Amino acid sequence: HGPSRRQALIGSAVVGWGAAAALGIDRVATARETPTATGSRTVPFHGRHQTGVTVPPQAHAAHVALDLLPETDLTGIRRMMRLLSDDAARLTQGRPALGDTERELAHTPSALTITFGFGRELVTRAGGPVPDWLSPLPAFEIDRLTEAWSGGDLLLLVAADDPVAVAHAVRMLSKDARQFASVRWVQHGFRNARGSTAPGTTMRNLFGQVDGTVNPAPGTAEFDQLVWHSGGWLDGGTSVVIRRIAMDLDGWDRVARVDREGAVGRRLDNGAPITGTREHDDPDFDAVDERGFPVIAEYAHIRRARSPNVAERFLRRGYNYDDPPPAGQLSDSGLIFVAMQADPVRQFVPVQRRLDDLDLLNEWTTPVGSAVFAIPPGCADGGYIGETLLG
């Protein structure tokens, strides 16, 4: 019997390695990829706020909810958040996590941000105090929620301009969380690829609408007031409402362009209000047509969604989803609707109630998932996310 094929392979590999070493060739001299400006871009991890709230939305995002294992107590939660914060601090800066088994995947962070959120159960197990808004939203008539897309104890919001960076970060974080929590749901979302539209261009959703025009801008007094929570362990933090909203693209296909524009109150070409010409023109809600009917109808989405009370505004950071369709259907598409605000019950809920009462868009949209999380403040180098609650 001669050497087996396996032995032969191992033998030649060893010979090969030995020869390379003899020649002084360094096997790990350089990474294969040369990251571009986009690939090597980093967003700071440390700071007063978690940076995922304010960074211009990246092209790809994974929204991951985990459930704590029954035995995970305050000590476990603290250990988990120390570990995950350390992973996030490294990965967002383009460095492999400790024990990273795919180190090379860390080298193209592509503006990676990792934002953590705490569900009611986590804050309760940690000993609180639990904000009174940190519980499931009230039920709405339009809701067709499934457990599979709702709730969760810990949120990982992982976003980057490169989906490989997102996948790697989610994998590292889930592995390190495994001894404390299990994955409950994952919602992958996308916007236009970085570079396909000019920076600052408002995204389009899969109905083809310009979506996100009226939104508080980070760094303004309005944003600070609407978004950041003040006082207690959440000082400098915020909250997030994640609603998975299915969009009936087949039904929308049958709607004439003029009626599509009427349903929202904005034009499809550039997102301008139908009473104006440019995207950021103020809608004229008082304008009437020759028959005396309001140009922006009573049922139009922007009329219903704009609260007369400016304190009821919030930040929208949604992502499109387009998943494999169930058998017999063409698509399973929609919006991962992400709203951030200091207090969801005082800001988000009144708006959602108005839309529940009347909004023509409801004809083609159905909320199928819903979750609320507290987003703790950021942390300094050496600290960890959640230390103001868990420390």
Binder among 264, 340, 389, 390 for ligand HEM (CB under 6 A): 264
CB of 150 to ligand HEM, least distance (A): 15
Q: State yes or no: is 153 an active-site residue.
A: no
CB of 161 to ligand HEM, least distance (A): 22
**Options 87, 100, 211, 359, the catalytic residue:** 211
One-letter amino acid identity for 380? A
CB of 356 to ligand HEM, least distance (A): 9
Q: Specify the stretch interacting with ligand HEM by CB under 6 A; choose among 3-11, 128-136, 157-165, 264-272.
A: 264-272
One-letter amino acid identity for 42? T
One-letter amino acid identity for 331? S
Q: Which of 383, 375, 382 is nearest to 156 (CA)?
A: 375
- Binders of ligand HEM in range 306-335 (CB under 6 A): 306, 335
Cβ nearer to ligand HEM, comparing 116 with 348: 348
> How does 272-298 read in b/e, with b if 16+ C-beta sit within 10 Å?
bbbbbeebeeebebeeeeeeeebbbbe
- Binders of ligand HEM in range 196-225 (CB under 6 A): 205, 207, 209-214
CB of 16 to ligand HEM, least distance (A): 56
Other beta carbons within 10 angstroms of residue 41's beta carbon come to 19
Cβ nearer to ligand HEM, comparing 149 with 207: 207
CB of 380 to ligand HEM, least distance (A): 34
Q: Which of 218, 68, 264, 70 is nearest to 154 (CA)?
A: 68
CB 244 within 8 A of CB 151: no
Q: Interface with ligand HEM includes 301 (CB under 6 A)?
A: yes
Q: Interface with ligand HEM includes 57 (CB under 6 A)?
A: no
What is the torsional sign of CA 341, 343, 346, 352?
positive
Q: Interface with ligand HEM includes 355 (CB under 6 A)?
A: yes
Q: Interface with ligand HEM includes 267 (CB under 6 A)?
A: no
Cβ nearer to ligand HEM, comparing 119 with 273: 273
Cβ nearer to ligand HEM, comparing 48 with 280: 280
Site string for ligand HEM, 334-353 (x = CB under 6 A): -x-x-------------xx-
CB of 312 to ligand HEM, least distance (A): 9
Q: Interface with ligand HEM includes 150 (CB under 6 A)?
A: no
Cβ nearer to ligand HEM, comparing 125 with 354: 354
Please give the size of the binding site for ligand HEM, defined by CB under 6 A.
25
Q: Interface with ligand HEM includes 247 (CB under 6 A)?
A: yes
Cβ nearer to ligand HEM, comparing 171 with 285: 285
Can you tell me the distance from the alpha carbon of 106 to that of 229, in angstroms, rounded to the nearest whole number? 32
Can you tell me the distance from the alpha carbon of 184 to that of 147, in angstroms, rounded to the nearest whole number? 10
Q: Interface with ligand HEM includes 362 (CB under 6 A)?
A: no
CB of 50 to ligand HEM, least distance (A): 22
Q: Interface with ligand HEM includes 266 (CB under 6 A)?
A: yes
Q: Interface with ligand HEM includes 305 (CB under 6 A)?
A: yes
Please give the residue ranges that form the binding site for ligand HEM (CB under 6 A): 205, 207, 209-214, 243, 245, 247, 264, 266, 271, 301-302, 305-306, 335, 337, 351-352, 355, 361, 365
Q: Which residues are catalytic?
A: 211
